[in-house]
Structure 1
Amino acid sequence: MNAAHEKEALLWGLVGVTLFAATLPMTRLAVGPVDAPQLSPWFVTFGRAAVAGLLSMGYLWHQRARGRLNVPQRAEWPLLAVTAFGVIVGFPLFLALALRTVPSTHGAVVTALLPLSTALLGALWYRQRPSAGFWACAVLGSGLVLGFMVWRAGGFYLGTANVYLLIAMTTGALGYIGGARLTPRLGAEQVICWVLVASLPLTLPVALWFAPATPSAIGAMSWAGFLYVALFSMWIGFFAWYRALALGAVRVSQIQLFQPFLSLLFAVPLVGERLDTATLVFALAVIATVYLGKKMPVHTAPRPV
């Protein structure tokens, strides 16, 4: 990757990560704590995809009117299904289920592990060979963020929530790379739109089934959280993120290391969390690992003839 493409990839990646960073506190607002539940995690998961899917229908119709619609080929539909499983069902559902019982700081463990998972899958799918130095920086950065989040949350939460978080992390990385592989031909915007539209026969009925019987009984902030994850976490954020991953999946994946700290920053006004000196120190350490990792070579393996 040349310097100009790398700079563009990192810029788009930063935009995507910034939009995704508010997902945890906004999801926490949407579902509410276990002692004061708001929207069902199932409604938040499938409802946000249904809203984004209806918007995607309008976007694809507009692209068709302009003669710019890219229709998925038959061979691409299985990859679209994998992407849908990861980013529409797997990651948001298990994240929402976990955040009903654990705080968003503990949930940020997911975003701490996503970069390493995305880099690993990206290296395999794109036949890239990161140097030992790159992997060392990736593991060190992930370890720093993971250690900080566990310490801040007061230790590991044993039980079902950690299983949910592990599943969310794995499926999220799978969905990221699946969409990135489709982006060069379909375009970042149309990839997520096709995934969302194709999922509407599932997401819309399930969302209606789990919709609150009395919408007025749900707090305004919970509805605000739901609208955010529908518009930005499920739709607009992927416009930037898939474009970034398509330009350089392995390097861009490490920008996700910033996401937990951005989530904490957003959580200050939304959830009432406090930023302290330790948070800033860990943030600077993680930034240093991302910078060093950016300098490490990443080679592309030759494809067999």
Structure 2
Amino acid sequence: MKLGLAHMSPLWLAASRFGSAALISVLVLGLLGRLRFPTRQEWPLVAGVALLQMGAFTALALWALQYVAPGRASVIAYATSIWVIPLSSLVLKERLSAGQWIATALSYAGIGVIVAPAFSPWQAHTVIGLAMLLGASFAWACNIIQLRGNRHVRLGADMIPWQTAIATIPLAALAWMRDGAPVFLGVPDAWPLILYTGPVATALTFIVVLGMTQKLPPAATSIAMLCVPVIGLIVSSVVFHERISADLALGLGLIGASVAASALATRLKRPLALRPS
């Protein structure tokens, strides 16, 4: 996505990502004879994934990449646990263990360490970018809660065309109004990026993420997704020569500790659930 911003605006990059994913998924499912409309129960969840997890998350994260380095940005954007664990308790009324609250506290501390440099000295653009990333993670967290709250409805790969198509419509409309016509379509270097971010990093990846979101508890899902920034930091340090500073390493370490604490809490809690009441 960082490379794509060299050829197109954040909104057009987001729109092209989901538009290409919609086209390829319609083609593949049509050839397999698995293309179908969502049911009445599926439509709200399809719209939630499209507008929150796909549209809002991607648009905010892409916009923030103009102000924040990709490695640091990936850590904040994927730190959905700072929202999901409290929301699980408030909205889903799930009883969280002490270990899960400790994991939440560690993830908050990690995010605090990572964003602190933007405030001393004050860097307005960086602060705006960080706020967008936190908004992106909150949008995704809301969708995780929505999916878990409706676990009786399972979304499969045959919903990807509708999710990506719904996400594309508002993104393309906003991009056209703000940035004009998609002139990047005539740039040869932009097409490999579109074809990767759409069919591979969107259509294929969202199938995996959706399955994980619907099978695992919200806290486990959000903590597991923190593995993404680890890869993001490594790739960013190699491709963009992003320096893994002391504050970034400490913040990532705290978030890593939250992953370990959450995993440990889940293992300790599981035997208790098997005891007769």
TM-score range relative to shorter protein: 0.7 to 0.9
CA RMSD of aligned residues (A): 3.6
Structure-2 change in CA distance of 1:202 and 1:94 (3 Å): closer
Partner of 2:262: 293
Superposition map of 1:143-292 within 5 A = 143-148=109-114, 150-151=116-117, 157-159=123-125, 160-179=128-147, 185-199=153-167, 201-202=169-170, 210=180, 212-213=182-183, 215=185, 220=189, 223-248=191-216, 249-275=218-244, 283=252, 285-292=254-261
Amino acid corresponding to residue 290 of structure 1 in structure 2? V
Letter in 1 for 2:50: A
Q: Does the Cα contact within 8 Å between 2:14 and 2:55 map onto a contact in 1? A: yes
Q: Which residue of 2 aligns with 1:17?
A: none
User: In the alignment, what sits opposite 1:84?
Assistant: 50
CA contact (8 A) 2:113 2:251 kept: no
Distance 1:193 1:214 in 2: 23
Q: Which runs of 5+ in 1 are unaligned?
A: 1-26, 33-37
Q: In the alignment, is the contact (CA less than 8 A) between 1:45 and 1:96 conserved in 2?
A: yes
* Equivalence for 1:23: none
| Number of aligned positions between the proteins | 264
Against the structure 1 CA distance between its residues 198 and 214, is the aligned structure 2 distance closer, same or farther, given a 3 Å change threshold?
closer
User: Equivalent of 1:52, from 7, 11, 21?
Assistant: 21
1:82-161 correspondence runs (5 A)? 82-111=48-77, 113-123=79-89, 126-148=92-114, 150-151=116-117, 157-159=123-125, 160-161=128-129
Structure 1 residues 115 and 235: CA distance shift in structure 2, 3 A: farther
Instruction: After TM superposition, give the deviation of residue 260 of structure 1 in Å.
Output: 2.4
Q: In 2 relative to 1, CA 201–216 (structure 1 residues): closer, same or farther, beyond 3 Å?
A: closer
Q: CA deviation at 1:190?
A: 2.9
The separation in 1 between residues aligned to 2:88 and 2:252, in whole angstroms, is 25
CA distance in 1, matches of 2:61, 2:254: 26
- Asked if 2 retains the 8 angstrom alpha-carbon contact of 1:118 and 1:173, the reply is yes
Tell me the distance in 2 between the aligned counterparts of 1:271 and 1:264.
10
Please name the residue that 2:2 is paired with. 28
Q: Check 1:122–1:60 CA distance in 2 against 1; reply closer, same or farther (3 A cut).
A: farther
TM-score after normalising by structure 2: 0.76
| Residue 41 of structure 1, CA deviation | 1.0
8 Å Cα contact 1:117/1:170 also seen in 2: yes
Output the TM-score relative to the length of structure 1.
Answer: 0.70
In the superposition, relative to structure 1, how do residues 29 and 157 fare at CA in structure 2: closer, same or farther (>3 Å)?
Answer: farther
